[in-house]
């Protein structure tokens, strides 16, 4: 189930809000743990709706990591427990996500169907690792009880597609009696509507352009077709995933939690390094804190720093999927990060507009690798972008998707200062006009959802 589905908006969400509000009535409101119960129950119901028996894998990993967290905290020599439990988490992820690709790459004749990928396994595996490592580093104490940990681990706003939330970021809300806050609730509703509109009005509308381009034989595309398809996927992916993150942040706020931001207008970046400070921020910070820095970060020699960057981004690519295209995409970004360090990226010599064009060129070409089914089709698509025929594009008849694409490009190209946005931490009062505009747009979104037969989230595939 996706957040932008009618069943979620008109059934799961109202049911959750009703149960959550009932727990705030006296005398229940005085109990610190009581709001976690409906959140956990609805989270498991939400996951079971789409995943069925896979929920038992989620519960098993929850119990394993909860017990391991207590052991890491209490044992005088916790490293074996930490290493063993992290290994189990990674082995489960490897079995479901990479084992089939790895074995069939070595033994092409192997007749074995890949196991169904549990929804969100890449995200909750990283949740588990961050929890255990933070306890080992004494950044946080372990969860007080199983209810607290299961609530964190299985919380439906971040369960299936992030953002990657660390226990340290929300432990205070989990263990405390979350008081009702009208400002936080209104902020949450606004962010949910904002994300819904980004997903439905922009991402879903643009999707046919990207699908037609990447599902066609590259040789049949004109130069304009190839570029329109690549740019369409670039805009679709951003509005799809950032829209989901907005909805997740909004749902968490309605439940009394303050999630960290996961996107900050990444297509405004003036370098690849800055892009990764703005794109999927929770994943970037996870890799920095739990892989790049432990490997030595940038404190060692230049060679070690460049090696670490390349390794981190190769693994970042593979985190998104088990295919050579993802590996190449990660390596592509890693190479440009190394290049920017070598060229003194912190002291730019070119105008900002030129640097933004360079960054977007790198990002758009990288998304071709990310989207293509095979490396051969990716390189063929890139070749059409460089030297295809200059004919009337196939997309000339797709007026509505092209208009949506133009709106998406414009929104990404405008300066950051035109998009002030309150966060869950500031709890600034929302302008009434902004809320009303997105509420009206949401009516259109609901209408489009009623008429549409497909409404996937792209990052559910990763």
The CA distance from 355 to 315, in Å, is 26
Per-residue confidence (pLDDT) for residue 105, from 0 to 100: 83
Report the mean per-residue pLDDT for the chain. 88
Query: What integer is the mean pLDDT of 16-30?
Result: 76
In degrees, rounded to 5, the angle at the alpha carbon of residue 172 between the alpha carbons of residues 168 and 177 is: 155
Here the tokens at position 311 are 């390794």
Q: How confident is the model at residue 391 (pLDDT cuts 50, 70, 90)?
A: low
In order of 68, 82, 90, 327, 416, the CA distances from 87 in angstroms are: 12, 8, 5, 22, 42
Give the largest CA-CA distance in the chain. Answer: 72
Judge contact between 251 and 192, C-beta under 8 A. Answer: yes
pLDDT tier, 113 (very low <50, low <70, confident <90, very high otherwise):
confident
Q: Cα separations (Å) of 377 from 163, 364, 370, 380, 452?
A: 31, 16, 11, 5, 29
pLDDT in tens, 256-267: 999 999 999 999
Residue of 345, 326, 331, 169 whose CA lies nearest to 274: 345
pLDDT tens sequence across 330-381: 999 999 999 998 887 656 678 888 999 999 999 999 999 999 999 999 999 9
**The pTM is what?**
0.92
pLDDT at 455: 65
Per-residue pLDDT for 292 more than 60? yes
In contact, 175 and 148? CB cutoff 8 Å: yes
The predicted pLDDT at position 417 comes to: 79
The predicted structure's pLDDT at residue 41: 92
Residue 32 pLDDT greater than 80, yes or no:
no
66-75, 215-224, 364-373: least confident range: 215-224
CA dist., res. 151 & res. 41, Å (int): 9
Q: State residue 241's pLDDT score.
A: 94
* pLDDT band at 399; cut points 50, 70, 90: confident
- Integer angstrom CA distances of residue 237 from 229, 233, 352: 12, 6, 24
Residue 164 has pLDDT above 90, yes or no: yes
Contact 263, 425 (CB under 8 A): no
Give CA–CA dist 56/286, Å, rounded: 26
Does residue 202 contact residue 403 with C-beta atoms inside 8 Å?
Answer: no
- The stretch 55-83 carries a mean pLDDT of 95
Reported as a single tens digit per residue, the pLDDT across 72-112 is: 999 989 999 999 999 999 999 999 999 988 888 887 777 77
What integer pLDDT is reported at residue 14 of this predicted model?
93
User: What are the catalytic residues?
Assistant: 320
CA 287 to chain centre: 14
- Is the pLDDT at 397 greater than 70, yes or no? no
Mean pLDDT of 244-268: 93
Tokens of residue 106, six digits = 């070595």
Q: Is the pLDDT of residue 433 over 90?
A: no
Query: Average pLDDT for residues 180-205, to the nearest whole number?
Result: 91
Question: What pLDDT is stored for residue 376 in this prediction?
Answer: 94
Which of the four pLDDT bands, split at 50, 70 and 90, describes residue 34? confident
In sequence order, the 6+-apart residues with CB closer than 8 A to the CB of 152 are 127, 131, 143, 165, 167, 170, 171, 174
> Residue 183 above 90 pLDDT?
no
């Amino acid at each position: 189930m996706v957040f932008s589905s009618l069943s979620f908006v008109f059934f799961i969400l109202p049911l959750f809000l009703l149960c959550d509000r009932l727990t705030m009535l006296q005398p229940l409101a005085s109990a610190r743990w009581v709001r976690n119960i409906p959140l956990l129950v609805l989270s498991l119901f939400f996951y079971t709706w789409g995943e069925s028996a896979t929920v038992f894998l989620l519960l098993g990993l929850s119990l394993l990591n909860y017990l391991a967290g207590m052991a890491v905290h209490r044992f005088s020599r916790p490293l074996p427990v930490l290493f063993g439990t992290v290994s189990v988490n990674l082995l489960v992820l490897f079995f479901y996500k990479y084992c089939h690709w790895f074995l069939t790459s070595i033994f092409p004749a192997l007749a074995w169907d890949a196991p169904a990928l549990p929804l969100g396994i890449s995200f909750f595996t990283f949740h588990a690792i961050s929890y255990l490592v933070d306890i080992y580093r004494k950044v946080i104490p372990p969860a007080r009880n199983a209810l607290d940990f299961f609530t964190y681990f299985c919380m439906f706003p971040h369960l299936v597609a992030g953002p990657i939330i660390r226990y340290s970021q929300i432990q205070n809300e989990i263990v405390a009696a979350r008081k009702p806050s009208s400002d936080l609730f209104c902020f949450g509703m606004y962010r949910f509507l904002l994300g819904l509109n980004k997903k439905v009005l922009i991402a879903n509308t643009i999707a046919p352009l990207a699908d037609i381009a990447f599902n066609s034989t590259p040789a049949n595309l004109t130069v304009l077709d190839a570029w329109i398809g690549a740019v369409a996927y670039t805009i679709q992916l951003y509005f799809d995933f950032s829209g989901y993150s907005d909805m997740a942040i909004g749902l968490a706020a309605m439940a009394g939690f303050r999630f960290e931001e996961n996107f900050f207008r990444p297509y405004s970046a003036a370098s690849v390094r800055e892009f990764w400070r703005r794109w999927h921020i929770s994943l970037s910070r996870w890799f920095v804190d739990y892989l790049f820095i432990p490997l030595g970060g940038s404190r060692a020699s230049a060679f070690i720093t460049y090696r670490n960057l390349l390794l981190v981004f190769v693994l970042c690519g593979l985190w998104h999927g088990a295919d050579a295209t993802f590996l190449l995409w990660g390596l592509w970004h890693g190479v440009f990060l190394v290049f920017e360090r070598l060229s003194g990226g912190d002291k730019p010599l070119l105008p900002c507009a030129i640097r933004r064009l360079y960054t977007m060129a790198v990002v758009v070409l990288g998304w071709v690798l990310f989207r293509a089914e095979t490396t051969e089709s990716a390189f063929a698509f890139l070749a059409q972008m460089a030297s295809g025929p200059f004919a009337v594009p196939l997309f000339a008849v797709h007026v509505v998707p092209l208009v949506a694409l133009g709106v998406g490009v414009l929104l990404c190209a405008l300066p950051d200062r035109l998009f002030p946005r309150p966060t869950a931490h500031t709890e600034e009062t929302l302008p009434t006009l902004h809320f009303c505009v997105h509420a009206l747009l949401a009516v259109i979104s609901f209408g489009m959802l009623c008429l549409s037969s497909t409404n996937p989230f792209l990052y559910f595939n990763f």
